[in-house]
Structure 1
Amino acid sequence: MNPRRTNLLAPGAAAVTVVLWASAFVSIRSAGDAYSPGALALGRLSAGAVALGVICLLRREGLPPRAAWRGIAISGVLWFGFYMVVLNWGEQQVDAGTAALVVNIGPILIALLGARLLGDPMPPRLLAGMGVSFAGAVAVGLSMSGGGGSSVLGVVLCLLAAVGYAGGVVAQKPALAKASALQVTTFGCLVGAVGCLPFAGQLVGEAADVPLSATLNMVYLGVFPTALAFTTWAYALARTTASRMGATTYAVPALVVLMSWLALGEVPGPLTLGGGALCLAGVAVSRSRPRAAAERAAAPESSPEPQPEGASESA
């Protein structure tokens, strides 16, 4: 594929992921009132696995290579399974602002683990951008926090969710060097769904009593923020570092504020808007490159000047 086209597709895939993950917070708020944490995670993962499985069959993807299975299994357990269950549970114990604030240590953990385990570089612009975005996430979290809505258990659960998210991303990165983004996402989702099978009884029992809107939200979570968004995430992650992709997710709180405003009529205050702007500014800084490097990447490859006949090809 043309490198210039790839340079456009990867940021586009990351943008799709961020938008869909932001929309998930709005859907989880509705579905989470009707479904218990484990049942919601299993229903979401089941819907995602079915959608991804159909696409894999149509594309004849087949099984991932054996060398990719270790990363797929670890990311499936930590990110698709553990993360979704404990985050759903944590958000029942704390307000949305506190949950967003605690979970947003995930990109910092990704950067640290990526540098330690994958040898990811830590350029100053990435560190500066993450600092700015985290300050924005703190502002958004404080502005959205309700009085007395937090518990020690909820904070611990959200912290565990951040750890599972970071570990899953770092484990997924090497697998993407051996298997396609669709394969890694499909079988990671399937591993997570199998891990959540103990909640099958709860899911069946609750599905018979909950409003249809809650079930539709659960299916939406499985098809779009899981099947589609995790695939576009994997596509982009395969073409950049785990640290840089983790920093990109700092745009999620800003988009959640905007979507809550549009969909739920929750008018953000000045502190929320300022925090959202900081999140986006930090992402822009973390993904930017020094001007000289950007100019080298954008410059077309120069063809060698014609040499006179008989001239040596090497100096």
Structure 2
Amino acid sequence: MPPPDPFAPWLAERLGVELVGCAPVGGGCIHSAWRLDLADGSRLFAKTNGAASLPLLEAEAEGLQALAVAAGEAGPLVPVPLACGVAGASSVLVLSWLELEGGRSAAQVPQWHRLGAALAALHRRSLTRCCVAGDRGGSSFGWPRDNVIGAFPQGNGWDDDWGRFFVERRLVPQLEHLAFSGTPLAQAQSLLERAGQWLDNHQPDPCLVHGDLWNGNAAITAGGQGAIFDPAVYRGDREVDLAMARLFGGFPDPFFDGYEAEWPLPSGHRFRRDLYNLYHLLNHANLFGGSYLGQCQARMNELLSRGTDQERG
């Protein structure tokens, strides 16, 4: 969609800046994205959508604010939400501009290693900080408000039991939506019943997690700092971020080396990785259908087959 007609006056009123140019930026599948060129030579980044989409942008802004609080000055770098509201018929979120480097060269190995270590530090620091109003810190799993994962609703609330939270707030809505849409997956109920058992002996800390950490939502800036963006935050097992970082192309190996050097993952994480990533495969099946349905069924069958060893401890 084009930038809203009163975009320039809205920016001037909200931020006191003069807009002299606006160019579309690729990469988004839900919102339109823009590079904003200002009279002083600086740039900002903006997302726009219909006015009814304001809650989605507000949730994103809140997630970025929470990550920034947990990250502290040591990083990872998080774009700063500067303004969020309605301009004309459009909702708008304005963020600080990040100059990102494209590709992944050998020269970036140290930066990806540092980004992994910085994410581990963010996870650990979040346990002792309430990152937004209504956040319970490291005492419960969940989040004060519902948000979205892609374009699919992501229900939150609070629960003291991680296994129950992951099954009821993550897997159940995705599987139910597939069934209601006429594409139920075989053995879904068995998977849900056993998933809780698989997580019973795993007692993770309620870390603040990015929640949607695939390789399109992280990058190295031109200044050499690792950055993360486009979150779907909540308090959960830190392993969910590391799991998704291996999905859909994955992060470079130095990222995982850096994380492990800062805060090693406990035993059993490889099996949990496949369980946690089932959530994202299901989400893609609901959003896009196609081959993702077959991938979900194959992943469920594999988990059910391997799960017997997990149940035996």
Structure-1-length-normalised TM-score: 0.26
Higher share in helix: 1
Higher RCO, Cα 8 Å, sep 6+: 1
TM-score, L = length of structure 2: 0.27
Structure with the bigger percentage of strand: 2
- The structure with more radius of gyration: 1
